[in-house]
Amino acid sequence: MTLLRDHDLAHAFDHASRTYDGLTSLNPGYRTDLLRSARRLRLPGGGAGLHLLDLGCGTGASTRALLTAAPLARITAVDASAGILRRALAKPWPARVRFLHLTAEELATAGEGPFDAVFAAYLFRNVTDPDAVLGSVRALLAPGGRFAAHEYSLSGSRAHRALWTAVCRGVIIPAGTLTGDRDLYRHLWHSVLAFDTAPAFAGRLARAGLTSVRVAPVAGWQTGIVHTFLARDGHPATTPEHAP
């Protein structure tokens, strides 16, 4: 199957935006796992004085996780899909949170940043050139800044790959077909199979020049299927917030 990319993917998310929150709320652990990953950033002082980026924010579930983990931080949340951003904007947010209609690829030249931390939940598997986006992330991170990706990235074991296919065939694709979004949820299935395994993505982060790369599993049925990837910008921190 050809994966959806760029404009086609944004269009598919525009259409799916009506039912996205409903479908993800059927996934046990979707929101608690996002919060676990956001908390793993270990942002100090409730995020006071920090500027955070939520890259590929969708309808705001990952933004809410960041806000819960760092309630005093300023957050910029960006997404390529206008439809999905409209859903995010319809929710109540403090003034410290703002949403921008931008692609991850456009962000580097949009005059945004630097950011004290970048959170990207379910983004990297969807981009055409993950190395280029990681290069932008590095450029956007303040010296010593923190990075977390929360991603469907399989462990590499045959059992986890088979479980993922079973869940997609048995639950995710039938549910997505009912909402008229079959192509997007088939893309989800195949994009996970095609994406880096967790050790491979960790290696990609290190090759991009990020340091202190760590991988942590999530709990529940997604163990071995979803991981948190943590890393730091390798430049010396200039403020105490960024000190290890």
Q: In the complex, which residues of this chain contact ligand SAM (CB under 6 A)?
A: 9-10, 13, 34, 56-58, 61-62, 79-81, 84, 103-105, 121-123, 126-127
Residue nearest to ligand SAM (CB): 58
In angstroms, what is the minimal distance from the CB of 162 to ligand SAM? 22
For residues 70 and 121, which CB has a smaller minimum distance to ligand SAM in the complex? 121
Residues 6+ apart with CB under 8 A from 209: 138, 234
For residues 184 and 213, which CB has a smaller minimum distance to ligand SAM in the complex? 184
In angstroms, what is the minimal distance from the CB of 127 to ligand SAM? 5
For residues 57 and 144, which CB has a smaller minimum distance to ligand SAM in the complex? 57
In angstroms, what is the minimal distance from the CB of 30 to ligand SAM? 7
For residues 86 and 235, which CB has a smaller minimum distance to ligand SAM in the complex? 86
- E strand spans, the chain: 51-55, 74-79, 97-101, 115-121, 141-152, 211-217, 226-232
Q: Are strands 74-79 and 97-101 parallel, antiparallel or unpaired?
A: parallel
Going by C-alpha positions, the residue among 110, 120, 112 that lies closest to residue 146 is 120
How many Å apart are CA 72 and CA 93, to the nearest integer? Answer: 12
How many Å apart are CA 11 and CA 130, to the nearest integer? Answer: 20
Q: Phi and psi for 150 in degrees, rounded to 5?
A: -115, 115
In angstroms, what is the minimal distance from the CB of 62 to ligand SAM? 4
For residues 173 and 241, which CB has a smaller minimum distance to ligand SAM in the complex? 173
In angstroms, what is the minimal distance from the CB of 237 to ligand SAM? 26
Q: Are strands 211-217 and 226-232 parallel, antiparallel or unpaired?
A: antiparallel
